[in-house]
Amino acid sequence: MSITLDEAVALITLEADLLDHGQFHEWLGLYTPGGRYVIPTDPDAEDFENVLNYAYDDAEMRAKRVERLLGGRSISAAPPAQTVRLLSRYRMLADDGDTCTLRCAQYLKELRQHRERDYAANITYRLVRTPDGLKIDLKVIRLLIATEALTAVSYIL
């Protein structure tokens, strides 16, 4: 039974909503135990392990990132920036029944210390069907500005 676009979009919309509302512990539960959250520095990179990324998080690093945002001990994240993100332009690139690859656009605004900033990105998800429902096995955020200078991002893109 294939994964429908509606199912996939429902999951990543839930992810976006959890991240914008600071529900980071719930966010952790959306990933498979072996899942990765990746933000490459090189827009063409595929072999993420052998290149430098902005983030290359396994389950342990994701949990640490959440702890950092909620722990109140990081001056850039106390409190974390407020964000509003929009996902759109969904396209199912592949679907073999239990696994699918979905690509979409994300536009995000952040507000922190009286300053608004924005980031546009292409996001590719690999979603898998598990006994606990549909989960994220890979999220690759290709920032439009990845090759240029960013500003500090003390939240989860």
Pick the piece of the chain touching other proteins (CB under 8 A) from 7-15, 71-79, 86-94, 121-129.
71-79
| Kind plus residue range of the DSSP H or E element containing 124 | strand 115-130
CB of 21 to other proteins, least distance (A): 20
Count Cβ atoms below 10 Å from residue 117 Cβ, excluding itself. Answer: 15
Contacting residue, 56, 105, 128, 129, with other proteins by CB under 8 A: 56
- Contact between 107 and other proteins by CB under 8 A: the answer reads no
Site string for other proteins, 116-155 (x = CB under 8 A): -------------------------------xxxxxxxx-
Burial of 36 (0-12, 13-18, 19+ CB in 10 A): buried
Strands (E) in 3-114, as ranges, are 31-40, 53-57, 82-95, 99-112
Contacting residue, 7, 17, 26, 54, with other proteins by CB under 8 A: 54
The residue among 12 and 55 lying less far from other proteins, judged by its C-beta, is: 55
3-state secondary structure of 141: strand
Of residues 136, 140, 149, 113, the one with CA closest to residue 27: 136
Under the rule (CB under 8 A), what is the footprint of other proteins?
39, 41-42, 49-56, 61, 64-65, 67-68, 71, 73-77, 113, 147-154, 157
